[in-house]
Amino acid sequence: MYTPPSDDAATDSEPIVRASGSPYRNVPDTGSISMLGLGMVIGVAIGAGIALLTAPRSGEEMRDSIRDRVRHIRGKDDAWTKLQRELKRAIKVRRRSALEKRKIEDEKALERQRAEENARVVPAT
């Protein structure tokens, strides 16, 4: 080891020891780096899940929206296929609303029928 010359007589008896090797700040800690990466991946997954759960759209609409964005970014989005998808969506929405309307009508008819039966069957007092 190299010891620099000193003018002080008291320090001549004790050699100055310097650390050998690379400084601590230059040594990568792979364990902490991998934990950081893992934490980031888990955070992204949790954030995406929460975003999908709190989205104002239904799951099917959200998936369609994501597919449209991906197609648009990839450049595979021509006018005819876009029109076809929009028409299919409109048909789905119309069918769904017709089914819901029919369900509500059936429930009302069932309520009326039960009310009529309850009105006919009056307990004798």
pLDDT at position 72 over 60: yes
pLDDT, one tens digit per residue, over 33-68 is: 788 889 999 999 999 888 877 777 777 777 878 888
pTM of the predicted model as reported, rounded to 2 decimal places: 0.39
Locate the domains of the chain by residue range. Answer: 78-125
Q: What is the DSSP string of the chain?
A: ------S-SSSTTSPPP---S--GGGS--HHHHHHHHHHHHHHHHHHHHHHHHS-SS-HHHHHHHHHHHHHHHHT---HHHHHHHHHHHHHHHHHHHHHHHHHHHHHHHHHHHHHHHHHH-----
